[in-house]
Amino acid sequence: MDIRSIASAATGYAAARPATQVDPDFHGTSATEQLKTSFADFANTMQVGEQTAIQSMTGSGDPHALVQALAQTELAVETAVTVRNKVVEAYQEILRMPV
């Protein structure tokens, strides 16, 4: 087993772990700023996943990094779809309200 793949996995885990913890700076910001930050994080995750996939296809990337990037990208897309579904559901509920 290559030590670089273990180091890459450990680095990826260390980077992903804070994403599950509460960000104390997030509570003091407005909803607009939180949305902007969330959208920027989503776009960044997608770009990193795409770059890692391109590196793997050209032969210069680590297969473990590719799997990790794909998992992160899949989670980001599933989260975005879930949020979209909730927004559509809320909009439809508002439309059903009597005037």
d(CA 42, CA 28): 21
Count structural domains, the chain: 1
At 91 the pLDDT is: 96
78 falls within a domain? yes
Residue 58: exposure state from Cβ atoms within 10 A (0-12, 13-18, ≥19)? exposed
Residue 59 lies in a domain: yes
Average confidence (pLDDT) per 10 residues, the chain, 99 residues: 62 64 64 87 92 89 87 92 95 92
Q: What secondary structure letter does DSSP report for 97?
A: S
Please tell me the pTM assigned to this model: 0.62
| Residue 22 maps to a domain | no
Q: Quick check: is 24 in a domain?
A: no
* CB-count exposure of residue 87 (10 Å: 0-12, 13-18, 19+): exposed
Residues 42 and 73: beta-carbon distance below 8 Å: no
The domain in which residue 98 lies consists of 31-99
